[in-house]
Structure 1
Amino acid sequence: MRSKPLPNIPNEKPANVRAFCGGVVIGQLVKLTRAQSEARHEVPHRLVKAPKSPTTPERQLERAFARHQFLFESEKLRHCASVPLQPLEVEPKPVITPKGQTGCATVIQYREWSDEWRIRTQVETANNLPPQVDGERITETLSQRGAKKIAESCEYMSLKKGGFKTFVTGTFNEAARARIAANETTIQRELSRCMDAMQKMYQRGWTTDKGERVPGHTEGLSYCWVVEVPKNEQGEDNPHIHMLLGWAVPFAQFTNWASRIEGIWGNGYFHMEKIKDCRCAGAYMAKALGYMTKGQEGSQGKVRGNRYGISEPARAPDWVTVGKKQLHAMGQIIADVYDHITQKYGADYRERKQLNKRLDETPKTAKATRYQIGKRLQAVRDKLSSLPIRCNKYQVILKGESAQRTFLSWALGDSNKPPEWLPELPSELAWEPANTPEAKDGHYWRNLEKAYQHRKRQFQELKRQRHAVTDEVCSWMVEQAERFKDAACSAWEEYAYLEFT
């Protein structure tokens, strides 16, 4: 008996596959392997076995794809070798907002306590209302806005009140954690109770164990705090707080003062550490909290309610708007300044970041190494702090009125040579403030005007429809309706008479 031949494979071009691999159409190769597979499954049912192919279909596919990859890479190298490597400098088209454009403006603001000017762009969206928030307020990380408020508070305290002087870490023992888990109390409630008692102690004064009277203060206690609820090794919540205090005592009174405050806390340890350099208070909080790195991993834990708080004496006054002008080219100007600062001083910013990382990784026992790193880091910080400008893509902050005047003169197209912290400004990018935008130029008033015009058109249409029907037409319509009613009643009476008689 003859063996059953392999099924015929039609020599047609697949409609859905057009790719080739080394001269073999992928679609046909797949059909070939499928047909051979079917034939191979029929071999056990034959009396005479079919010859075995030395090359399996899978091996054919591997060779085809390998050949295709080799030919593709060879063609790519040949093409790249023939094309000259001449990078083209593409100058992006400047973005200039037409004068009189609604919903956008250049805002000029001033902050007195730091003697800084801020020039930023403001663009209104179609809907300025924030989304409605329902239910409990639960956060997993400290927001960028909260981190910014804490950093501004540290800077304000450093410039105006001598800075924060004590760094505190408060923990919760098992009993306190159990009360929090059972909703008998909250972290914020315990913090409020502790801070109220510390506020009274700060203002009224206190007496040491030796009977020495420590006088109080006239103003309130400056402080800020942040809550963390990470998981411990057992996977349980481990709530604790980090706090900065604008309060310090002499070394002889420190032990008695710290134990007294820890007694006020009453929920566990209340570790207090003196801040040697008040300018680094923000770094203490940022390092302890780790919101830059730990927040991305979600290790700060879920917190119900306020995640941070700042007392009134430590709260930095906000910016005051002193002017609002047309946006025009200011958005492009700020972006160009940001690119210039990044290119000119990028090496210093990178070095500062690397030195901070090395300082964190160096153990505290290596004091000589840490001293050298800190010395170099301070030199880089002083160099960057000497610049009269800080900026991002949407705003510039200028230190002092002189820097503000220099920037505005340069932005208006001053022909003098700009300082090294400003780039060359093309004449077509000169800022034109024009007239001051008013409230009616915003999206809110524009949408309100549209709604008013729509309601006005609706009212006019109803008024037109009402006056289109005169009294004569109305009386005629009433007469026709009465006649139809009478005719219907008459017809019904006649029908009823014929039906029931």
Structure 2
Amino acid sequence: MGAIRPHDETKKNDACFRAGFLGSKIQEQPYSEQERELLASGVVKKLPVYDRILGSDKKSSSYDHVSGRKPQHIIEVERSTAHFEKLNQTPEHVREAAARIAEEYSLVNGRKSPTEEMSSRKWRIRSALRVLKRGPSYPVELASAESHFSHDVLYGSTERSTASILNEKGQKNPNESQLAPVSFQIQHREWSGQYRGQLITQTPASSAPDANVGERFTEKLTARSVSKIFSSAAYVSTCHEGFTTFLTLTFNKAQRLRIFGGMTDEYTTLSDERVGAHHPMRFRRNMITRKAGKNERKISAPVCDIAGPYTSIEIQDHAVEMNMNREIMGDYCLLSEKPKNAFTVEKTIETTIGKEVSRLLDGLKKMYQRGWIADHTIQVDEESNAQYCDLKRASVKPHCKAVATEFGPSFTKDDFHYIWVAECPANEDGEPNPHVHVLLKWTVEPHLFSAWAMRCEKIWGHGFAKLERIREPKAAGTYIIKAVGYAAKGDDASQGLVKGNRYSIAKCSRAPSWECIASFEANNITAIIKELGYKLEQWKKPLERSLNRLSYQKSQTIKAKAIAAKQPGTTEDKLKKMQSSIIRLEKQAQKVKQEMKSRQVHVSTENNFSISFDGQDAKQKVDDFLMWAAGARGWSMDCRDMDLSELKVEADELYQSDYVRFKDKRAYWQAVLCDSVPIEPDENEVNYWKSFTADYLEGKLTPMLH
């Protein structure tokens, strides 16, 4: 290194020379007796080299008066600290100017004490350290998505983009519709008098869903299923006087084994013969079907002989192949139609819940429409009012309904209404317990009930059947939903696994579907529905709080009554007062619920694709909603079925002021959202600019003109 650079220049390099890179500074300094002893003992060699460098700054607070020296790194730290304080020190004239302004104008607002500022700074530092130590723990799902999917965001997204079908590889499909894939339909349901606006998405032909294949297994009812059950129950209640009987069906052990895979055990008998524990099987040959000819009926008939010859050439005439004895072997069959497997294995006793319930309902329907004979009746003794069984037979007439024809009234078979839902939860032992809940529109006289129940249970033949009379036919839909333990939101998943159909509704009991009366372009209708849902929910908030309060008071009163009933010395009057209080709270809650439904408009922020209107004025409410949406919120009102341009102009003129107010409000909040965040100045910066103000007021500083 001396050959490359002179020694005096190398010595001036503080980074190498002071660190002892070119030789220990210890050898160049005079040492005290204590330091010499440490050097002789070898302890100093274990210390870092930098800590062994000593200086001679007598002004330092760590000056050693014995040796007259201190460590070099302490000197450098003190020197750097003094230099930093000098650079960040506020000038004296600035402090004086700030104090003078404070005295003249009393600028004391917003000042903070040093103690408070230091405590807040420590709190910020500690919170930051806690965050850094813990690491980011962001939630997987947002607690509320309203900040990202509010109605204001939907208004903005509609203005920026329009709905269209994305073409594959940039090529247009001439078979696709040129209209937008999303439309807003006004639908009507005549039997209930309801109207609704529904957003409909048309699935393009290129995105058709896959066909359902294989066996079906379900774990619970879907929201769509619950909606169909409620609609059908409401339809029967409105148009057919409602369901009147609630039936619960259970399965015995043998039938449960048949449902769960077609099994038997050693105690099961088939056709009076003990079969043992095995799986009864049947092998079915896979047949090839022959296509119908040009002048034949369009049916598929199996070929006479599966072993017939196969050919890869399609033959129009069904030629036959003969062997040496001139015997027909079979029709020619295409090789592509040859079955993959020659035989199919079938479980002869396997069944499903849906099959067994369908068999029962077929038998009950015949009884209902043809009539039946009761083998006994229940009579009441006139003297003792006791019931006794009369073994006389009684004939029950069939159920018929009058139908008007051109020749006069005629009688035909009455409709058989039913709804059934199956479930298979686990029992106390963890075993599956399948059972079925059925709603029927069928009642009998009290003296025929016993014979009717025995006849129904005999037709079922698989276990116990329980019959109950529904006291409120108009609320029959809630019976079956509560029976299967299913909440409207679908959170309860304890219904068990069921193979095949999980529920079924009679054709005559199905509610007629909604009928479309007008179709519009969607435009910004989703944002409008979202805004109305938010307003309706805000209006319902006080009523919901009142309803929750009444529900809590009712539950507490019921608990207090139960406790008081068990305590000795409680009078009957006190219990009656508690019961009257419970009844009063129920009536108040019912009144609040009626008030919540008084608007007769159903819309929610969770579903911005539908809005419905009830009541006698439903049609007028739909018209008002469309006019308000077109005029006050800028909806296009572009109808696909008719020209409504005149109504659009009328709506714009009627709600012009409301639309201008709506646009101004949106523009204001957009400006607030896009405005930059204000930066809070520190104390030194405030004092600096206050000094400029003081100098300007005293005439020492002139403003700069640009």
Distance in 2 between the 1:211 and 1:370 partners?
48
Q: State the TM-score, normalized to the length of structure 1.
A: 0.62
Query: Measured at CA, do residues 3 and 302 of structure 1 come closer, stay the same or move farther in structure 2, by a change above 3 Å?
Result: farther
Distance in 2 between the 1:152 and 1:345 partners?
25
Specify the alignment match of 2:353 in structure 1: 187
Distance in 2 between the 1:426 and 1:5 partners?
90
Structure 1: where are the runs of 5+ without partners?
A: 12-66, 77-87, 414-424, 439-501
SS in 1 for 2:466: strand
Is residue 375 of structure 1 aligned with residue 587 of structure 2?
Answer: yes
Counterpart amino acid of 1:161? Answer: H
Is residue 200 of structure 1 aligned with residue 278 of structure 2?
Answer: no
Specify the alignment match of 1:213 in structure 2: 395
- In the alignment, is the contact (CA less than 8 A) between 2:189 and 2:513 conserved in 1? yes
Distance in 1 between the 2:356 and 2:504 partners?
13
- Equivalent positions of 1:33-432 (< 5 A) are 71-73=125-127, 92-93=152-153, 94-95=155-156, 96=158, 102-124=180-202, 128-183=207-262, 184=349, 185-208=351-374, 209=376, 210-217=392-399, 218-292=413-487, 296=491, 298-349=493-544, 368=579, 371-372=583-584, 374-392=586-604, 393-400=608-615, 402-413=617-628, 427=631, 429-432=633-636
Indicate the structure with greater helix content.
1
Counterpart amino acid of 1:162? Answer: E
Query: Measured at CA, do residues 107 and 214 of structure 1 come closer, stay the same or move farther in structure 2, by a change above 3 Å?
Result: same
- In the alignment, is the contact (CA less than 8 A) between 1:164 and 1:247 conserved in 2? yes
SS in 1 for 2:361: helix
Counterpart amino acid of 1:187? Answer: I
Give the superposition deviation at 1:339: 1.2
Counterpart amino acid of 1:389? Answer: V
Specify the alignment match of 1:421 in structure 2: none
Query: Measured at CA, do residues 357 and 245 of structure 1 come closer, stay the same or move farther in structure 2, by a change above 3 Å?
Result: farther
Give the superposition deviation at 1:328: 2.3
- In the alignment, is the contact (CA less than 8 A) between 1:165 and 1:248 conserved in 2? yes
Specify the alignment match of 1:436 in structure 2: 640
Give the superposition deviation at 1:164: 0.9
Give the superposition deviation at 1:351: 6.1
Seq. identity, %? 32
Task: From the CA coordinates, give the structure whose radius of gyration is larger.
Answer: 2
Give the superposition deviation at 1:242: 0.9
Distance in 2 between the 1:9 and 1:168 partners?
94
Give the superposition deviation at 1:403: 2.7
Distance in 1 between the 2:201 and 2:495 partners?
33
Give the superposition deviation at 1:277: 1.0
Cα deviation 1:369-403 (Å, max 9, x = unaligned): 77556534433443344432222322111125733
Give the superposition deviation at 1:320: 0.7
Cα deviation 1:221-277 (Å, max 9, x = unaligned): 100011101111222111001111111223332222222212211111111111111
Distance in 1 between the 2:519 and 2:591 partners?
38
Counterpart amino acid of 2:587? Answer: K
Count of paired positions: 359
Give the superposition deviation at 1:121: 1.8
Q: State the TM-score, normalized to the length of structure 2.
A: 0.45
Counterpart amino acid of 2:252? Answer: N
SS in 2 for 1:92: helix
Counterpart amino acid of 1:72? Answer: R
Distance in 2 between the 1:370 and 1:378 partners?
12
Tell me the C-alpha RMSD between the 2 structures: 3.9
Counterpart amino acid of 1:212? Answer: A
Query: Measured at CA, do residues 296 and 398 of structure 1 come closer, stay the same or move farther in structure 2, by a change above 3 Å?
Result: closer
SS in 2 for 1:396: strand
Give the superposition deviation at 1:105: 1.5
- In the alignment, is the contact (CA less than 8 A) between 2:193 and 2:618 conserved in 1? no
Cα deviation 1:266-296 (Å, max 9, x = unaligned): 1111111111112221211121112228963
- In the alignment, is the contact (CA less than 8 A) between 1:326 and 1:437 conserved in 2? no
Cα deviation 1:81-139 (Å, max 9, x = unaligned): xxxxxxx9x99352546789622211011111101111122234566522443321111
- In the alignment, is the contact (CA less than 8 A) between 1:139 and 1:307 conserved in 2? yes
- In the alignment, is the contact (CA less than 8 A) between 1:100 and 1:326 conserved in 2? no
Counterpart amino acid of 2:539? Answer: K
Higher RCO, 1 or 2 (CA under 8 Å, sep at least 6)?
1
- In the alignment, is the contact (CA less than 8 A) between 1:136 and 1:304 conserved in 2? yes
Distance in 1 between the 2:638 and 2:431 partners?
61
- In the alignment, is the contact (CA less than 8 A) between 2:226 and 2:488 conserved in 1? no
Query: Measured at CA, do residues 198 and 10 of structure 1 come closer, stay the same or move farther in structure 2, by a change above 3 Å?
Result: farther
- In the alignment, is the contact (CA less than 8 A) between 1:117 and 1:400 conserved in 2? no
Query: Measured at CA, do residues 226 and 175 of structure 1 come closer, stay the same or move farther in structure 2, by a change above 3 Å?
Result: same
